[in-house]
Amino acid sequence: MTVTCLNQTVEAMTIPFTVSVAVQGEASPDLTQAFTDACRKIYTELKRIEADFSAFLPDSLVSRFAEGDESILLANAEFQEVYAAALLAKEETAGAFDPYFAGKFDPTGLVKGWAVKKIFASCLMPLAAFPEVTGLCINGGGDLQALTRGDFRWKTGIENPAQPRLLLAIYDLASQALASSGYTYRGQHVTLTGPADLSQVTVLAPDLTFADIWATAGLAMGETAFKEQIAQRRLSGLYARKDGQLALFTEGDLQYVQKA
């Protein structure tokens, strides 16, 4: 049976978020309406999370906390969750992921992945109750959380940082997450803890927050330190060096290196 897709893109956090539902055959009217309703909820949630966690909005929880309003940490459960995740990420990456890189608290490096994971579970996963649904996915600027059933897979391309219209690799994603960090669109936005020899890092994992943290940390720590973490934590994904070399790794094993 043919697989069709329901797709809708919403703009938030200055990037596009694409919501996709793969369907065996044609989507029923009930599923189509449920998808429309879910997209509306996703947009509302994204805008709410942006208002609370953007480091660029002066009245956000993050900005107010950074300016000294510590009552937020006690009063808001979501802020507690993000704050704890950011500090744990700093500890686990030996400071390569640092929420205080700008001199004050800024969890931008994990908020997008955390938001997509949260919204995927609360707004999109209920559509899995429809028997014709064979896949669900939210892709926020290249960071995505996906679910699949049976043999269906989400084909996901990884852009070449030197030539963004070309692809480094194509992954067939099952129920997993993928996050990429690089300089192509945002310039030098990561505080380096090692040599600046990587131009892009992609990490695959079951959890998008984890993938997002390690993609950012890998970029920050440089190739030598990141290779140690790949082996130690059995990471999967790929990275591109600034000299054009490409390395792919699966569950900690570096498979091959070639010109990107």
What proportion of the chain, given as a percentage, has pLDDT over 90? 82
**Looking at 77-81, 100-104, 156-160, 254-258, which range is the least confident one?**
254-258
| pLDDT value for 190 | 63
C-alpha distances (whole Å) from 40 to each of 113, 127, 129 are: 19, 14, 19
Average pLDDT, the chain: 92
Give the pLDDT band of residue 256 (cuts 50, 70, 90). Answer: low
* Residue 161 or 225, more confident: 225
| pLDDT value for 142 | 85
Per-residue pLDDT at 234 exceeds 90: yes
59-68: average pLDDT: 96
5-28: average pLDDT: 95
The answer to whether 86 and 113 have CB atoms below 8 angstroms apart is no
Burial of 188 (0-12, 13-18, 19+ CB in 10 A): exposed
The answer to whether 170 and 160 have CB atoms below 8 angstroms apart is no
> Mind giving me the DSSP string for the chain?
--EEEEEEEEEETTEEEEEEEEEESSPPHHHHHHHHHHHHHHHHHHHHHHHHH-TTSTTSHHHHHHTT-THHHHH-HHHHHHHHHHHHHHHHTTTSS-TTTTSS---HHHHHHHHHHHHIIIIIGGGGGSTTEEEEEEEETTEEEEEE-TT--EEEEEE-SSSTTSEEEEEEE-S-EEEEEESTTT-S-S--SS-S-EEEEEEEES-HHHHHHHHHHHHHH-HHHHHHHHHHHT-EEEEEETTSEEEEEETTEEEEEEE-
| Tokens 């992954």 belong to residue | 171
| pLDDT value for 147 | 98
Please name the CATH architecture into which domain 3-259 falls: Roll (3.10)
The answer to whether 60 and 54 have CB atoms below 8 angstroms apart is yes
Extents of the domains making up the chain: 3-259
Give the pLDDT band of residue 109 (cuts 50, 70, 90). Answer: confident
Instruction: Tokens for 242, please give them.
Output: 């600034």
10 Å Cβ neighbour count for 186? 10
Would you say the C-alpha torsion 102, 104, 110, 115 has a positive or negative sign? negative
| pLDDT value for 161 | 87
| pLDDT tens-digit map of 146-202 | 999 999 999 999 998 888 788 989 999 999 999 999 875 554 456 777 888 999 999
pTM exceeds cut of 0.85: yes
28-40: average pLDDT: 98
* Residue 162 or 12, more confident: 12
